[in-house]
Amino acid sequence: MKCSIMVGAVCIFLLGTTAVRAHSPEGELFFAVQFPDNAIPVMDGDISEWDIVPESPYHLRNDRLSAPDPSILTAPRGSADPSDLNLHHVVGWNNSQNKLYFMSEVFDNIHNIDREDVARFWDDDALEIEVNPSAVAAGEKNLEGQPVNQFSYKWSVPPLEGQYQYIEPISTYTWFQDGTEFIDFGWAFDGEMFGESTYYYEMAITPILALSRDEASSKEGSEILDLEEGTTIHFSVNFGDIDETGGEDNYNSFWGVSTDVPCCNATSDLVMAELDPLLLEALATRVTAVEEVSWGRIKAGTTR
Ligand SMILES: [Ca+2]
Ligand SMILES: [Ca+2]
Ligand SMILES: [Ca+2]
Ligand SMILES: [Ca+2]
Ligand SMILES: [Zn+2]
């Protein structure tokens, strides 16, 4: 997301005053794959647990992503150049953990992390996820004096001066940070750390309907959404591609699931899917394959 106004060193993000649109893209649903209890992914940047997720309707690739913002780059849905930026996202959920899981695989010709001001994560390659569990309209989000009902989870890695997480609009609660039961993030990469590379991101969150603005009572006073099959929430997932060294606001492109301008307002519908038989089948095959490998090793007399 581009910074709207800088007030001193603080960025004010304006959500815009354009007409309220209910959902974007209009009439479209996105699906979170249901992970059974024995296949919950670990948030470590190794995305191999996501292999069992059937392609359709869960995998979001370039053909589902748009670059609608004229202040950055306007490009129609599906027109991303995969040699410049190739995105792949999957969202999942689990009933007993009551968590949402996000996976992103990002090939980028140049991974750039060199912002002068560590707070300006949008001057470097960044993954930006918004979640609005109460699924309210744009005009009802994060109203002044009301509990927070839309959350942004933004990540720029590797960490710079230790900074890599940008939780908005409240970033100061110690219980609401990476490494807690509410937010768990992991990342890894292949290739050149600051060059041509594929970065892998995994994030688990507990969906909060209403986060108290009173810090002392915030944890106990917050209301959690109980995820069930068919629950529909609002979300967006975006990636800002910076390829240029240094500078400010030098986006190469900014791709997301929504066609809304400005971006990053969680206006896409995300449905918690039922257990998918194809996933269960893939899981059974994977378990069998692991067992066969183990037996093969035992028979061959090799350990490990
Ligand atoms: Ca993992
Ligand atoms: Ca690029
Ligand atoms: Ca930069
Ligand atoms: Ca880049
Ligand atoms: Zn909706």
pLDDT-derived band at 183 (thresholds 50, 70, 90) equals very high
Question: Do 74 and 185 belong together in one domain?
Answer: yes
Question: Do 73 and 205 belong together in one domain?
Answer: yes
Question: Do 284 and 198 belong together in one domain?
Answer: no
In a domain, 283, yes or no: yes
User: How many domains would you assign to the chain?
Assistant: 2
4 has a pLDDT exceeding 60: no
| Distance from Cα 109 to the centre of ligand 4, integer Å | 6
Question: Do 266 and 298 belong together in one domain?
Answer: no
Residue 114 sits in a domain of what CATH number?
2.60.40.1190
| Distance from Cα 82 to the centre of ligand 2, integer Å | 9
**What residue ranges in 114-207 does DSSP mark as E strands?**
126-132, 151-160, 163-168, 183-191, 197-205
Q: For residues 33-62, give the mean pLDDT.
A: 98
Mean pLDDT of the chain: 91
| Distance from Cα 68 to the centre of ligand 3, integer Å | 22
Q: Return the pLDDT at 2.
A: 57
What does the pLDDT look like over 120-130, one tens digit per residue?
999 999 999 99
Using CA atoms, how far residue 304 sits from 42, 159, 175, 184, 298, in Å, is 22, 34, 39, 30, 9
Q: Which ligand is nearest to the CA of 233?
A: 5
Question: Do 67 and 149 belong together in one domain?
Answer: yes
In a domain, 189, yes or no: yes
293 has a pLDDT exceeding 80: no
Question: Do 230 and 286 belong together in one domain?
Answer: no
Q: Return the pLDDT at 16.
A: 42
- High-pLDDT (> 70) share of the chain, %: 92
| Distance from Cα 221 to the centre of ligand 4, integer Å | 40
Question: Do 289 and 173 belong together in one domain?
Answer: no
| Distance from Cα 260 to the centre of ligand 5, integer Å | 14
Q: Measured between alpha carbons, how far is 11 from 190 in angstroms, rounded to an integer?
A: 32
Summary count for the chain: helices (H), strands (E): 3, 16
Using CA atoms, how far residue 140 sits from 15, 26, 146, 148, 263, in Å, is 11, 19, 10, 10, 16
What does the pLDDT look like over 69-115, one tens digit per residue?
888 889 999 999 999 999 999 999 999 999 999 999 999 999 999 99
Q: Return the pLDDT at 247.
A: 87
Question: Do 256 and 193 belong together in one domain?
Answer: yes
Q: Return the pLDDT at 196.
A: 98
Question: Do 189 and 111 belong together in one domain?
Answer: yes
Helices (H), the chain: 55-58, 215-221, 277-300
Question: Do 257 and 224 belong together in one domain?
Answer: yes
Q: Measured between alpha carbons, how far is 304 from 298 in angstroms, rounded to an integer?
A: 9
In a domain, 7, yes or no: no
300 has a pLDDT exceeding 60: yes
In a domain, 23, yes or no: no
Domain that holds residue 299: 277-304
Q: For residues 159-165, give the mean pLDDT.
A: 98
Question: Do 286 and 167 belong together in one domain?
Answer: no
Question: Do 236 and 291 belong together in one domain?
Answer: no
The one-character DSSP state at 112 is -
For the CA atoms of 14, 20, 22, 28, what is the dihedral angle to 10 degrees? -70
Q: Which ligand is nearest to the CA of 87?
A: 2
